[in-house]
Structure 1
Amino acid sequence: MSNPSEPSNPSGPSEPSNPSELIHRHRAVTPSWLAVYYAEPIELTHGEGRHVWDSQGRRYLDFFGGILTTMTAHALPEVTKAVAEQASRILHSSTLYLSSSMVELAEQIAELSGIPDAKVFFTTSGTEANDAALLLATSYRRSNQVLAMRNSYHGRSFTTIGITGNSSWSPTSLSPLQTLYVHGGVRTRGPFAELSDAEFIAACTADLEDLLGQVGGNVAALIAEPIQGVGGFTSGPDGLFAAFKRVLDRHGILWISDEVQTGWGRTGDHFWGWQAHAEAGPPDILTFAKGIGNGLSMGGVVARAEVMDCLGANSISTFGGSPVTTAGALANLRHLLDHDLQGNSRRIGALLSGLLRAADLPMVREVRGRGLMIGVELVDSSGEPSAAAAASTLEHARELGLLIGKGGLAGNVLRIAPPLSLTAEEAAEGAELLIEALRRAQAESTDRATTDPSTTDPSTTDRSTADRSQERDPV
């Protein structure tokens, strides 16, 4: 079992830093809205495999991977070797010059994407990738009307905030886009929750048809996460976006699949999230980021050539597809494919989900997700979303030596997304730690309700806690 007080390995810092001093300095020079986890924030200094160490030498089992970004492993030798070798030659050149590693990576991604006649444009983040996808779609269709899913999140730029269907992550209503929101992102809550899967898909598709019938002008695209990340790892049934795509195709509307969190085999069943909806064919545009770089700043867009080439002005990327990031990403992708980490995600994800479901804890409303993309939704004694329970569990998990994330519209969903190389032993260990953290949070909730009856009323306590939590809850 992970020991939070275990000494750091030799690669760590020789002199532990002072976290209290660092957080004071952090708050003095960074925006108030730049969130950090924990009542006593920690600094992670190094990692190996599925473990990380903080500046005090405490070791943690990492079940969040820097927000689903450490895809294969911390300090993966193949990646560190590729980065070091490339850095010793040249760090930067920009897209104004040819790059063998960029071209080779683009070729592999184009082939893996499933999009015919595909071209690839590299960016430095998922936000930038989605921004570029929206530029392509609106330019191609000559329209600023965009369909998005309720409860969605696509980035922090001005444009991507304009298509975010989650009020906790939307600081402004101003946008260059006219965004229209459709149903389907959340299966177990909302007006269609009690329907069968087939009825749910039919109802959401009818909603889409009705919406399009009332819109003036040409809609450019539908952008959707196959599994909503920040929204709490929610999704509609398999086949939902295939049904949507048949409608979109009739209107000439493009489908953008946001694979920033679902790509590269994380869901286990598929390499891309869109493949759970493949009956109608691939998306027109696919965006990616996070896991492909394994911590290096990389994102990108894949699109049919006619869509990718539609821009009528010059453009470059100063840092997108840099020699260092593409060399590291190539090594990372090769490792993932050579070691069948998608298959490992499917097997170990099923094991981990099963262990969490078997715990049968009262405040756990649902364990959901696919592969190593698992959401644990928490509620209070009345069945209402409990951000307080999620925040408490997050703290207890850290104390026990486990790092997890959280999200959801109400801030009440634990997000479990370890590196895809997670072993069965580590999954069992992490499940044990998380279940203990949940039990401690459950006991706290019971004690709080016993000493202060008002805490059982979500309108007086839990909802305000959710609001405060989401104001400072990282992606």
Structure 2
Amino acid sequence: MTDDLLGRHRAVLPDWLALYYDAPLEITHGEGRHVWDARGNRYLDFFGGILTTMTAHALPEVTKAVTEQAGRIIHSSTLYLNRPMVDLAERIAQLSGIPDARVFFTTSGTEANDTALLLATTYRRSNTVLAMRNSYHGRSFSAVGVTGNRGWSPTALSPLQTLYVHGGVRSRGPFAGLDDYDFVAACVDDLKDLLGHTRPPAALIAEPIQGVGGFTSPPDGLYAAFREVLHERGVLWISDEVQTGWGRTGEHFWGWQAHARSGPPDMLTFAKGIGNGMSIGGVVARAEIMNCLDANSISTFGGTQVTMAAGLANLNYLLEHDLQGNARRVGGLLIERLRAAAAHVPAVREVRGRGLMIGIELTKPGTDEADPAAASAVLEAARAGGLLIGKGGGHDTSALRVAPPLSLNVAEAEEGAAILEDALRSIQ
């Protein structure tokens, strides 16, 4: 039973391993956009295991690919030639937009960002890194060191000297009152001033849309403007696409493409959705950057045959069924439906996002003060109504995160929006 499982969980796992809900949920199986718990309750899933079940639960094409590959060989390590790994790397290199691209596979977004930081600091011979305020890049020692979100940064110790830049959050901070053009100009001026006070950094690492931060983003073009400043100084740009990748924003395949006037980033990192639940992460970089390491390296579990088979099957399905276009169409409907619902709820400060990546920020009515208790209450009410969503935000976890599988249909979007509207109204 779930109650017994909770006791066992608490007895052997860390206290800081977070669980959602006052009565934590055990999910036993899923299909399409729905999951079931151990008591047989059915839920519409608008979070996908933190944006990881990107396409659908129990997608037959992925299940078949995993089963067939597992029947041949599951793992051999990167010390041996691996056809599925090469096949997927070729596809990702082509889709990345990075010229002369090389791909290195990891098991998670944390490890992908850790690798990108290793490459950047080695290539540039500098341990100074620029990152965005309110950012999140993973839970490793180096990734925590470039995370600008207090709630996800358990230590101030770091092998890196990190300097935090304005611009990742459009509606808060000293430039929030400016229009988009002046906002970008002010952030660029701030970046130039910062660079004038420090030794040349190795790289800027930035999420095009901040995931854990509550699905916040700057105006389009900000990172292109940053890139022009950085390029003059030889500073690399790492686009953290762990949550924005594979068409989730609807308008673009990668988040960096909303900032594309200066071309692709020097590196991009990915994870989450490509494996549709299988553990895949990775880095794409120009060959001269990827090849800058002068010591041996392997990845024991990065790029295993079974995860690569899943990634290939999932990527093929995603492209053949235009799930990016579906995210744009159905996501556009969903965000407008949620904005209309939120207009009648004083606690909703902002509904923001793109495609199927939507954030709802809650504050105490009439103020800008975060209200994490309200966010938790809405999370519980949505579950009671049969809907699973997430939480995040840089201001005491006061933002709801809505990120369904990309195959979401219109009827499911309407159903989820209605449940979430009732949940929001319940806190008034």
Per-residue deviation, 1:189: 0.8
What are the equivalent positions in structure 2 for 1:330-369 lying under 5 Å apart?
A: 330-359=312-341, 360=343, 361-369=345-353
Which of 103, 119, 131 is 2:114 aligned to?
Answer: 131
Could you list the per-position Cα deviations for residues 92-140 of structure 1 after superposition, in whole angstroms to 9, with x for gaps in the alignment?
1000111111001000000000000000000000000000000000000
Please show how residues 290-305 of structure 1 align to structure 2 within 5 Å.
Answer: 290-305=272-287
Counterpart of 2:217, as a letter, is: S
Question: In 1, Cα distance between the equivalents of 2:416 and 2:207?
Answer: 27
Name the structure 2 match of 1:106: 89
For 1:244-393, list aligned pairs within 5 A: 244-359=226-341, 360=343, 361-383=345-367, 384-393=369-378
- Tell me how far apart the structure 1 counterparts of residues 278 and 324 of structure 2 sit (CA, whole Å): 20
Structure 1 gap segments, 5+ residues each: 1-17, 443-475
Is structure 2 residue 83 aligned with structure 1 residue 97?
no
SS at structure 2 position matched to 1:219: coil
1:5-404 counterparts in 2 under 5 A?
A: 18-216=1-199, 218-359=200-341, 360=343, 361-383=345-367, 384-404=369-389
Q: Which amino acid aligns with 1:422?
A: L
Deviations 1:171-202 (A, max 9, x none): 11000000000000000011000101000000
SS in 2 for 1:375: strand
> After TM superposition, what 4+ stretches of structure 1 lie above 3 angstroms from structure 2?
none
Match of 1:459 in 2: none
- Give the alignment's TM-score, normalised by structure 2: 0.99
Q: What is the Cα deviation at residue 167 of structure 1?
A: 0.8
Q: CA shift at 1:385, angstroms?
A: 1.4
Equivalent position SS for 1:436? helix
Structure 2 counterparts to residues 436-447 of structure 1, below 5 A = 436-442=422-428
Cα distance in 2 between the residues matched to 1:381 and 1:346: 31
Q: C-alpha distance in 1, partners of 2:133/2:365?
A: 27
Aligned partner of 1:365: which letter? R
In structure 2, C-alpha distance between the alignment counterparts of 1:102 and 1:169, rounded to whole Å: 32
CA distance in 2, matches of 1:270, 1:431: 24
- Distance (Å, rounded) in 2 between the aligned partners of 1:441 and 1:106: 47
1:421 maps to which residue? Answer: 407
Question: SS at the partner of 2:427?
Answer: helix
Q: In structure 1, how many angstroms separate the alpha carbons of the residues matched to 2:2 and 2:384?
A: 15
Amino acid at match of 2:375: A
Map of 1:405 onto structure 2: 390
**Match for 1:329: what amino acid?**
G
Q: Give the whole-Å Cα distance in 1 for the aligned partners of 2:412 and 2:366.
A: 34
Query: How large is the Cα RMSD of the aligned pairs?
Result: 0.5
CA deviations over 1:58-77 (Å, ceiling 9, x no partner): 00000000000011000000
Equivalent position amino acid for 1:305 in 2: A
Q: Measure the CA separation in 2 of the matches of 1:207 and 1:376.
A: 28
Work out the CA distance in 2 between the residues paired with 1:226 and 1:204.
15
Task: Read off the aligned partner of 2:120 and give its amino acid letter.
Answer: A
In 2, the alpha carbon distance for the partners of 1:327 and 1:85 equals 9
Distance in 2 between the 1:182 and 1:150 partners? Answer: 6
Rounded to whole Å, the distance in 1 between the matches of 2:276 and 2:266 is: 26
3-state SS in 2 of match to 1:214: coil
2: CA distance, partners of 1:162 / 1:408: 18
Paired residues in the alignment total 424
Q: How far is 1:378 from its partner? A: 0.7
Deviations 1:220-268 (A, max 9, x none): 0000000000000001000000000000000000000000000000000
User: How far apart are 1:382 and its partner, in Å?
Assistant: 3.5
| Aligned-partner SS, 1:72 | coil
Contact 2:346-2:366 within 8 A present in 1 as well: no
In structure 1, how many angstroms separate the alpha carbons of the residues matched to 2:217 and 2:16?
28
Query: With structure 1 as the length reference, what TM-score do the two structures score?
Result: 0.89
**Given that residues 30 and 58 in structure 2 are in contact (C-alpha distance below 8 angstroms), is that contact kept between their aligned partners in structure 1?**
yes
Q: Identity of counterpart residues, as a percentage?
A: 73
Asked whether the 8 Å contact 2:335–2:351 carries over to 1, the reply is yes
- Letter aligned with residue 397 of structure 1: A
CA distance in 1, matches of 2:262, 2:232: 12
Mapped partners of 2:257, 2:30: distance in 1: 32
CA distances 1:70-89 after superposition (whole Å, capped 9, x unpaired): 11000000000000000011
CA distance in 2, matches of 1:168, 1:323: 36
Instruction: Give the Cα separation in 1 of the matches to 2:175 and 2:100.
Output: 38
- Counterpart code for 1:373: M
Q: Deviations over 1:299-327 (max 9, x none)?
A: 00000000000000000010000000000
Deviation at 1:362, TM superposition (A): 1.4
Q: Tell me the CA shift for residue 381 of structure 1.
A: 2.1
